[in-house]
Structure 1
Amino acid sequence: MRQPTFLRIGLKKRGAFVKLRLRWDKSPLTCAAVVRRLPVASQVWHAKWANCEIYTLVPVLDETFSPEWTSAYPAPGDLMYLPIGQTNIKPLGAPELPTQNGLIDFAYFYDRGSNLLNGPTGAHTGNIIATASDPLAVEEFAETCADVWFAGAVGEQLVLDVTD
């Protein structure tokens, strides 16, 4: 399988995207699993507990989670792969998703002060799979991410795809 260097994450309706570097050097198994699934386009939500995070949920297909480059304190521009077990803890209004194998939370952190310690099930870690390639672009995209919090996420999709 080809190992692409970059992916882009964006908010489709708002027409805003940012380019991230896939971290094959730190999370090779997770990067491979994610790249096999791309493209992804699904309803976006803004985090309640993790602060400056937008995310989407997708069902686990055949992926097996292996801790690699784990963190509970993501930095601005980090994209994380967070496994969620068979649970009913989903955002209000979430579509019915097959959860028999669990869910994957693709979580993008757009500003400082985020952590994964205070959720309803306690501390949660996941693998960082991509990081900012341009800090100024992350800051610009952060304004659009914050708009999901202030203006709402209805009808907005989080998009992940390979890019040059």
Structure 2
Amino acid sequence: MARHITVTLEARGVSCLARLLDDEAPRTASAVWDALPLSSAVFHGKYARNEIYNLVPAFAAVEPGKENTTITPIPGDLCYFQFDADVLVTPSHGYGGGEVPTQKHDIIDLALFYGRNNLLINGDQGWVPGNVFGTVVEGLEEMAAACQDIWMGGARGETLTFARSDRT
């Protein structure tokens, strides 16, 4: 039976429904599911294009590792990225107000891609493959409009939440 999660922009009151890719990314999907809900400030992608994401402390008992990876996510993809804190805490990334969690050495980036033509390359790091662990099945159009509003209007005061859905 498929497992579903909601992805919500709290202040904007917009959600979409995603199906976990348990067959394609079982380790990542399980790690995320077991840790839900996960919520923190939202960011809009600088390098990847049509992406919103949050940063949370590492949560998996065992890091899932590379699984069902991509460098060209499509609209509706949910991706998991694992970073060492030193990778993100650089002047070029622009985090400076305590946005990057530092409780643990590893930081997890949970991302939603809402449009086409994404390319996961970073000027400091090179290629940044992500684990595709879910796909949006409802509400992508409304979420994409809210994501565009974050891009043009700003992310301040907005929270991105990943939570379990009771939908089967």
Partner of residue 45 from structure 1, selected from 36, 40, 43: 43
Question: What does 1:13-92 correspond to in 2, within 5 Å?
Answer: 13-61=11-59, 62-87=61-86, 88-89=89-90, 91-92=95-96
Q: Which amino acid aligns with 2:136?
A: A
Q: Which amino acid aligns with 2:79?
A: M
Cα shift at 1:4 = 5.8
What is aligned with 1:132? 136
| 8 Å contact from structure 2 (residues 69, 132) kept in 1 | yes
SS of corresponding position for 1:130: strand
1:33-81 superposed Cα distances (whole Å, 9 cap, x missing partner) = 1011100111001011010000000111334132110000000000000
Cα shift at 1:138 = 1.0
SS of corresponding position for 2:52: strand
Which stretches of structure 1, 4 residues or more, deviate above 3 A after TM superposition? none
Structure 1 distance, partners of 2:18, 2:49, is: 20
Q: Which amino acid aligns with 1:93?
A: G
| 8 Å contact from structure 1 (residues 50, 119) kept in 2 | no
| 8 Å contact from structure 1 (residues 86, 99) kept in 2 | no
SS of corresponding position for 1:44: strand
Structure 1 distance, partners of 2:101, 2:135, is: 28
Cα shift at 1:100 = 4.2
TM-score by length of 2: 0.88
Gaps of 5+ in 1: none
Q: Percent identity among equivalent residues?
A: 35
Count of equivalent residues: 160
Structure 2 distance, partners of 1:107, 1:143, is: 16
Partner of residue 149 from structure 2, selected from 134, 147, 161: 147
1:88-143 superposed Cα distances (whole Å, 9 cap, x missing partner) = 24534343522642100001100001110234311101110101213xx2122100
Structure 2 distance, partners of 1:119, 1:34, is: 28
